[in-house]
Amino acid sequence: MSFELLVARQAGVVALHQAVGFGMSADTVQRRVRTGAAAAHWHGMLSRAPAVVGLTVPAASKPRPRPGIALRRRDLDPVDRMLCRQVEVAAQPFAALETAVEEGSAFLDRVLQRRLVGFPALYRSYTRNLGRPGSADAGRLLVAAADRADSAAERLLVRILRDAGVTGWVLGHPFGPYRIDLAFPERRVAVEVDGWAWHVDVERFRTDRRKGGAITRASWDLLRFTWHDLDGDPGGCLREITETLALPRVIGTAGT
The pLDDT tens digits of the residues spanning 16-42 come to 455 545 554 555 444 333 333 557 776
176: in domain: yes
If one counts every other C-beta atom within 10 angstroms of the C-beta of residue 208, the result is 16
Q: Is the pLDDT of residue 156 over 80?
A: yes
pLDDT in tens, 38-94: 577 767 787 766 666 666 667 777 767 666 667 777 778 888 888 766 667 788 898
Same domain (yes/no): 227, 166: yes
Q: Could you tell me if 39 and 137 lie in one domain?
A: yes
In a domain, 129, yes or no: yes
The domain of 170 spans: 151-245
Pick the more confident residue, 207 or 127.
Answer: 127
Instruction: State residue 215's pLDDT score.
Output: 95
pLDDT at position 1 is 55
Q: Closest by alpha carbon to 76, among 129, 3, 34?
A: 129
Among 146, 174, 190, the domain boundary falls at: 146
Total domains, the chain: 2
Q: Does residue 82 form part of some domain? A: yes
- Give the pLDDT confidence of 216-247 residue by residue, as tens digits: 999 999 999 988 999 999 999 999 999 999 99
pLDDT at 250: 57
Does residue 84 sit in the same domain as residue 125?
yes
Closest CA to 176 of 207, 150, 153, 149: 207
**Domain boundary at 93, 118, 146, which?**
146
Using the 3D structure, point to which of 97, 113, 146 is the last residue of a domain. 146
Q: 99 and 140 share a domain?
A: yes
**CATH no. for residue 212?**
3.40.960.10
Give the range with max mean pLDDT: 4-18, 55-69, 161-175: 161-175
Sort strands 87-90 and 81-84 into parallel, antiparallel or unpaired: antiparallel
pLDDT of 150 strictly over 90:
no
- The residue among 101 and 184 whose pLDDT is bigger is 184
Q: Long-range contacts: 173-177, Cβ < 8 Å, 24+?
A: 173/256, 174/256, 175/211, 175/214, 175/215, 175/218, 175/255, 175/256, 176/214, 176/255, 176/256
Within-domain flag for 107: yes
